Amino acid sequence: MITPWHIPRNALTWILLSLLLLVPAHYDHLPWWALLVCLVVAGWRIMILRGDWGLPSIWIKLLLVLLSVAGIYQQFGGITGLEPMVALLFCGFSLKLLECSSRRDVYLVLFLAYLVAASAFLFSQQITFSLYMLLCVLVITAALVALHQPNVSEFSLSGLYKATVILLQAIPLTVVLFLVLPRFEPLWSVPAPSHQARTGMSDTMSPGDISALGRSDQLVFRAEFESGIPSSRQLYWRGLTLSDFDGRTWHRGPENMRFLTPRESQSVRQRFSQPINYKLIIEPNNQYWIFSLPLAFTDNPKVKMASDSRLVSIQQIGSRMQLDVLSDPDERLQSFMDIQQRALYTELPASGNPRTREWAQRLLDQAGNEVIFVQQMLDYFSREAFFYTLEPPLLGRDSVDEFIFDTRRGFCEHYASSFVFAVRSAGIPARVVAGYQGGDVNPLTGVVSVRQYDAHAWAEVWLEDQGWVRVDPTGAVSPLRIESGLQRAMEAVAEEFLPDDFLSPYRYRDIPWINQLRLRYEMLNYQWTKWVLNYRGQLQIDVMKRLLGDITAWRIAVLLLLVTLLASLPFLYRAWLHGRHLEPHQRLYLKICRMLEKQGYERQPNETPDEFAHRVAQDAPAWGPSLQLVTGLFTRLEYESVPEQEREQALKNLKHELFKLRYKRVWK
């Protein structure tokens, strides 16, 4: 009978290390119990390695599989979608390791490990994460190398050294393929993380919604301006207009759902007198709206302009998106308004907030015209004891009345909502605008990074001969918020910035060395995003022209061929050296051993040719005579002094037996 094959201890140790390294890579988007399954499998395998436990029975394996599938179904509401499929892959990879008992099983586990590592890039591509995943690939490759070192019984770093050499040898060809291969749109689409919560702004706004975003330092987008960064007071990143109010929550109105035709969009572009040119790199958020300076235009076919002068993606932004944008903040927004639109933008609930309605009407009568009325409203917010805070008190049914006349403590959404309600109470068209204000400027790159804590809400009031005019009541209460950002505004009222994230480097921007490290890391990450993650389209064409001049098919083919040959030289050289040191009979015998290995008969390092032939012949009697003859010829040529004429005849016989073995292998 054939001696059972055992996983080398060294290889199994590297496989377990690969498994444990892949856990942090999927920590954010997998259910906790899936990671627990991984740890249980690793622990079970360690006990098997120690000799304390045995392999699980078929019933235990079946139970674990059923529990994993049921858990995924319960967690995600099904098994279709990106996250459940990745979770299924991860659980399958972990559980397959539990039943490994053959070389084929180990190969499958290692290939699954590569696939699990690749799937992590569906959720993050930051440079630090990419370096970590490179470490995972290195360890997986070390496990694959260790699998081919059966003579190494204890844990050894030699596999890691060889894996490092392999990855270094792959770098030249990888770089050329990255530079040369075009980026085609896939024939299939990877669904956005449908079960993952959408991040950032929603299309509704209630008291407390935006103040919740003020506690997060998550990156929303970056902006790189061609000629100078506008002042902080000009950085109003417009994303949503909210015109329907139910007494507590603002919603998008139906008039904001219409998109402009390409001709209408071009007519807007032609009105620009002093456009600002900038590039947006938008992080995945699974939303449709794009935040830009007013009035914005882009010729990207995947983006449309809405009737309220917003930019909207035609599909969910499930992956990083780069966009060239033109904006002209001085251009009027909608200089004409018909009766129907005026009714929509002055509509209020039939009842509620009576004090605000009466006060606004009285203030308009005193002002005499709309412009003075708006200014008096801002003066009121500035003059009275209003406070800007991340922790506003809860409001009741008449939320606007309670805020303006009682609590007077709120975040930007409280001020924008109450201001628009009061202006509408006076019969003046107004709407709430949700977006971001300001941003963190990196002096090393000149790039503006906008984060969730820059979330902001303000008002737009429609005035005769002026169109929609931006009015920010928060600026009247807390000018520091508009001029210097949220951190300085919180310091002014003795409140903590990012109170829920003590490890955020943005809490410690006043410590010079921490701030310098943060700025340099952001610079590195931005260059990674710009030149690696977004290397496609025109950028790829420009780089190729610098390298090759005119881009032709034959130049690309020659470049690929040269790099492939250069990358293959070490392997060809080693094969040539190996062949030079082998005698003809040794090469023939190795061919026979390789042929038998493909049939499942691998010669062990401590196994003599006679023992190997005897073991194979017991399981495959048809090969017995030929193997015995081959072994005898090889042993004689290897260990005896054979005359030259007899040696040549023995080599011919060895070749003949090799042919017969191949024939028997086919007809076995």
Percent of the chain with pLDDT over 70: 86
Does any domain span residue 471? yes
Contact 252, 242 (CB under 8 A): yes
Residue 343 burial (CB < 10 Å; 0-12/13-18/19+)?
A: exposed
Kindly name the residue from 328, 412, 440, 585 that is annotated as catalytic. Answer: 412
Q: pLDDT-based confidence at 286, cuts 50/70/90?
A: confident
Q: pLDDT-based confidence at 304, cuts 50/70/90?
A: very high
Mind listing the pLDDT tens digit for each residue in 112-163? 999 999 999 888 888 899 999 999 999 999 999 988 876 666 778 888 988 9
CA distance 539 to 536: 6
DSSP state of 284: P
Q: List the domain range (segments joined by +) for residue 174.
A: 9-180
Active-site residue, 510 included? no
3-class SS at 624?
helix
Contact 346, 480 (CB under 8 A): no
Active-site residue, 456 included? yes
Across residues 616-636, what is the average pLDDT?
Answer: 80
Does any domain span residue 175? yes
Strand partners, 374: none
Kindly name the residue from 217, 398, 440, 472 that is annotated as catalytic. Answer: 472
Strand partners, 241: 433
Highest mean pLDDT among 104-108, 199-203, 222-226: 222-226
Judged against a pLDDT cut of 70, whether residue 571 lies above it is answered with no
Last residue of a domain, one of 146, 180, 214: 180
Same domain, 53 and 157: yes
Q: What is the dihedral of CA 137, 519, 124, 291, to 10 degrees?
A: -160
Same domain, 163 and 285: no
pLDDT at 229: 92
Same domain, 145 and 97: yes
Mind listing the pLDDT tens digit for each residue in 451-460? 998 999 999 9
Does any domain span residue 187? no
Same domain, 335 and 423: yes
Q: In 3-state terms, the chain is what percent helix, strand and coil (to 5)?
A: 55, 10, 35
pLDDT at 2: 38
For 19-87, the three-class secondary structure string (H helix, E strand, C coil) is HHHHHHHCCCCCCHHHHHHHHHHHHHHHHHHHCCCCCCCHHHHHHHHHHHHHHHHHHHCCCCCHHHHHH
Does any domain span residue 558? no
**Which distant-in-sequence residues (6+ apart) come within 8 Å of 316 by Cβ?**
192, 286, 287, 288
pLDDT at 170: 84
Same domain, 263 and 160: no
Q: Which residues of 28-40 are buried (b: 16+ CB within 10 A; e: fewer)?
A: ebbbebbbebbee
pLDDT at 572: 67
Active-site residue, 398 included? no
CA distance 291 to 283: 11
pLDDT at 237: 95
- Provide the CB-side half-sphere exposure for 254 (13 A, CA): 3
Higher pLDDT, 566 or 28: 28
Same domain, 302 and 449: yes
Judged against a pLDDT cut of 70, whether residue 96 lies above it is answered with yes
Poorest-confidence range of 187-196, 261-270, 330-339, 370-379?
187-196
Residue 581 burial (CB < 10 Å; 0-12/13-18/19+)?
A: exposed
Same domain, 409 and 449: yes
Poorest-confidence range of 219-223, 323-327, 530-534?
530-534
The alpha-helical segments, DSSP class H, found in 207-353 are 209-213, 262-270, 339-345
Higher pLDDT, 382 or 577: 382
Last residue of a domain, one of 113, 145, 180: 180
**Domain total for the chain?**
3
Nearest Cα to 461, choosing from 423, 509, 411, 425? Answer: 423
Higher pLDDT, 8 or 69: 69
End-to-end CA distance of the chain: 18
CA distance 237 to 613: 77
pLDDT at 5: 54
Contact 444, 525 (CB under 8 A): no
CA distance 213 to 220: 11
Nearest Cα to 283, choosing from 129, 125, 460, 508? Answer: 125
Highest mean pLDDT among 206-215, 302-311, 578-587: 302-311
Mind listing the pLDDT tens digit for each residue in 179-215? 777 666 554 445 555 544 455 688 889 888 888 888 8
Across residues 96-111, what is the average pLDDT?
Answer: 85
Highest mean pLDDT among 419-423, 528-532, 628-632, 660-664: 419-423
Following DSSP, what letter does each residue of 134-194 receive, concatenated?
HHHHHHHHHHHHHHT-TT--S--SHHHHHHHHHHHHHHHHHHHHHHHS--PPPSS-PPP-T
CA distance 513 to 518: 9
Does any domain span residue 4? no
Higher pLDDT, 108 or 125: 108
Q: pLDDT-based confidence at 603, cuts 50/70/90?
A: confident
Contact 509, 442 (CB under 8 A): no
pLDDT at 151: 65
Same domain, 252 and 356: yes
3-class SS at 291?
coil
Nearest Cα to 366, choosing from 379, 353, 376, 355? Answer: 376
pLDDT at 4: 43
pLDDT at 217: 87
Strand partners, 240: 434
Strand order in the sheet with 276-282: 296-297, 321-327, 276-282, 219-225, 447-451, 440-442
Following DSSP, what letter does each residue of 590-620 receive, concatenated?
HHHHHHHHHTT-PPPTT--HHHHHHHHHHH-
Does any domain span residue 93? yes
> Token match 């919604």: residue?
209
pLDDT at 131: 92
pLDDT at 222: 94
Same domain, 157 and 223: no
pLDDT at 187: 45
Q: What is the dihedral of CA 619, 620, 626, 631, to 10 degrees?
A: -20
Same domain, 260 and 343: yes
Contact 87, 75 (CB under 8 A): yes
Element (H, E) at 544: helix 537-548
Does any domain span residue 431? yes
CA distance 451 to 501: 14
3-class SS at 495?
coil
**Which distant-in-sequence residues (6+ apart) come within 8 Å of 544 by Cβ?**
179, 180, 551
Hey, what are 175's tokens? 């770089």
Judged against a pLDDT cut of 80, whether residue 663 lies above it is answered with no
Higher pLDDT, 337 or 540: 337
Higher pLDDT, 289 or 562: 289
Judged against a pLDDT cut of 80, whether residue 92 lies above it is answered with yes
Q: At what angle do helices 32-50 and 58-76 cross, to 10 degrees?
A: 160
pLDDT at 155: 77
Mean pLDDT across the chain, nearest whole number? 83
Same domain, 278 and 212: yes
Mind listing the pLDDT tens digit for each residue in 311-341? 999 988 888 888 999 999 888 788 788 898 8
Kindly name the residue from 26, 29, 414, 456 that is annotated as catalytic. Answer: 456
Last residue of a domain, one of 475, 500, 522: 522
**CA 34: distance to chain centroid?**
20
Does any domain span residue 264? yes
Same domain, 13 and 117: yes
